[in-house]
A = this chain, B = another copy of it.
């Protein structure tokens, strides 16, 4: 019986709580830990663990890779919130890192989160996990730059980079940890692209921007439903138990926050 998304999320939370950061970070550690404690939905690491279980591994071996993805995501939030970028004082109902700890500490905490992510990804014998993560990180940074620079003409491309790449990496790192051969990874990766698109459209609907602004809320919801259907039909082609992944698709399609 595969673990439910809620059970997987609890494993992620427990791992994060116990996670020992590099001791040399010293007094910076509270600023590194703070943005990880904000009760996010942990969609990416749960996805990593669920793909891992579908591909035949227990959550344990997948946790460092799963949490590495969450750390890259958190790094991007901490830096995006800085005054130089989005200048957001709040994140999930709490003061942003730079409000709570000051700009200098938040900037360095973001850097440390990125480096800690690679440290975790590098705990595997194969460098493939860290390679997957670094490519996604670079795509994400490129997407963030397009957003900041107002280069938003190609909304699909912007989101493929800013959100999609890290979603795909959530799936990709699990495939490497589970030692799924590259030639068998295509259906999983096709699934992850639709899932990332679904996530982004719903995000825009909830925020009233992006796809919702470009197409209207009803049309955006229709696009999301189509992405969810494609995600499910791609799952159906994977010769494994993907029931929990289908549950994640349904959860993302129905989310209201």
Chain A contacts to B: CB under 8 angstroms:
22, 24-28, 75, 79, 82, 84-85, 98, 103-108, 110-112, 114-116, 118-119, 122, 124-127, 130-131, 134-135, 137-139, 141-146, 148-149, 151, 161, 165
Task: Give the CA-CA distance A25 to B144 in the complex, in Å.
Answer: 9
Task: Give the CA-CA distance A107 to B85 in the complex, in Å.
Answer: 9
Contact B151 A26 (CB under 8 A): yes
In the complex, the chain B residue whose C-beta lies closest to that of A27 is B149
What are 28 inter-chain pairs, A to B, with CB distance below 8 A? Answer: A22-B139, A24-B165, A25-B141, A25-B142, A25-B145, A26-B142, A27-B151, A28-B142, A75-B111, A79-B108, A79-B111, A82-B84, A82-B107, A84-B84, A84-B104, A84-B107, A104-B148, A108-B141, A111-B111, A111-B114, A111-B141, A118-B134, A119-B135, A119-B138, A122-B130, A122-B134, A126-B127, A127-B130
In the complex, the chain B residue whose C-beta lies closest to that of A124 is B127
In the complex, the chain B residue whose C-beta lies closest to that of A126 is B127
Main secondary structure of the interface of A (DSSP, over half): helix
Given known pairs A118-B118, A122-B127, the reply for A138 and B107 (CB within 8 Å) is no
Task: Give the CA-CA distance A236 to B107 in the complex, in Å.
Answer: 42
Given known pairs A127-B126, A137-B115, the reply for A108 and B144 (CB within 8 Å) is yes
Partner of A85, one of B104, B115, B161: B104
* Highest count of chain B CB atoms <10 Å: which of A105, A111, A145: A145
* Highest count of chain B CB atoms <10 Å: which of A106, A119, A126, A142: A142
* Min C-beta distance of A86 to chain B, whole Å: 9
In the complex, the chain B residue whose C-beta lies closest to that of A75 is B111
Contact B104 A139 (CB under 8 A): no
* Min C-beta distance of A244 to chain B, whole Å: 30
* Highest count of chain B CB atoms <10 Å: which of A27, A107, A126: A107
Contact B115 A134 (CB under 8 A): yes
Shortest Cβ-Cβ A-B pairs, 6 listed: A84-B103, A24-B142, A28-B145, A22-B138, A127-B127, A24-B139
